[in-house]
């Protein structure tokens, strides 16, 4: 199975960014993680970091949180997890969602020291790391799987419809 095009992944991530918080407010993954991870296998590390910067900037502009924190976290998480593409094949079905879950965990792990620097009143303990692992497995992994699987299922369905049309007589 070849991965879907990056532009389609970006479109699905953007649509989920717009609509998921309204309809499922408790289901809040890192919305653009599948797009950044998909870019790992398409372009160089420098270009991935540039795209991570723009995605983080977009998240900062659309967020009411500390300006610049999403940009910092997306770029640093992309820099930390870019090397995982050597260990995972992009053609394997669970490679992209698994790398997305790892990206999410790294993002959350880097958020604690970053938030401690920017807001001095932020406190954390070891139980929060377990919550991040649970969040990466229960929310970000299924979200990434859905984002990668949806275009594949749509294209598979359209191929079956084309094949069925070819068999029918007019």
For residue range 11-35, what is the model confidence (pLDDT) as tens digits? 999 999 999 989 988 888 899 999 9
Task: Please report, for the chain, the start and end positions of each structural domain, with discontinuous segments joined by +.
Answer: 6-152
d(CA 25, CA 59): 17
Nearest alpha carbon to residue 140 among 104, 106, 170, 96: 104
User: pLDDT tier at 3 (50, 70, 90 boundaries)?
Assistant: low
Task: State phi, psi for 71 to the nearest 5 degrees.
Answer: -60, -50
Alpha carbon distance 125, 115 (integer Å): 13
Least confident of 82-91, 92-101, 113-122, 140-149: 113-122
pLDDT at 89: 76
Distances (CA, A) of 35 to 53, 64, 126: 13, 22, 30
pLDDT at residue 69 tops 80:
yes
Q: What is the pTM of this model?
A: 0.83
pLDDT in tens, 109-141: 888 888 878 776 666 677 877 887 888 888 898
Q: What is the pLDDT of residue 58?
A: 95
């Amino acid at each position: 199975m070849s991965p879907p095009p990056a532009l389609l992944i970006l479109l699905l991530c953007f649509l989920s960014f717009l609509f998921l918080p309204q309809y499922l407010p408790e289901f809040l993954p890192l919305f653009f993680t599948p797009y950044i991870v998909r870019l790992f296998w398409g372009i160089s590390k420098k270009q991935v970091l540039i795209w991570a910067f723009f995605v983080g900037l977009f998240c900062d502009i659309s967020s009411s949180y500390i300006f610049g924190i999403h940009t910092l976290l997306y770029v640093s998480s992309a820099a930390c997890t870019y090397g995982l593409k050597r260990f995972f094949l992009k053609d394997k079905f669970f490679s992209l969602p698994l790398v997305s879950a790892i990206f999410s965990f790294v993002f959350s792990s880097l958020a604690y020291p970053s938030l401690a620097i920017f807001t001095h009143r932020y406190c954390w303990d070891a139980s929060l790391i377990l919550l991040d692992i649970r969040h990466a497995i229960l929310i970000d992994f299924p979200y990434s799987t859905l984002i990668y699987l949806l275009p594949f299922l749509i294209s598979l369905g359209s191929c079956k419809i084309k094949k069925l049309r070819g068999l029918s007589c007019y």
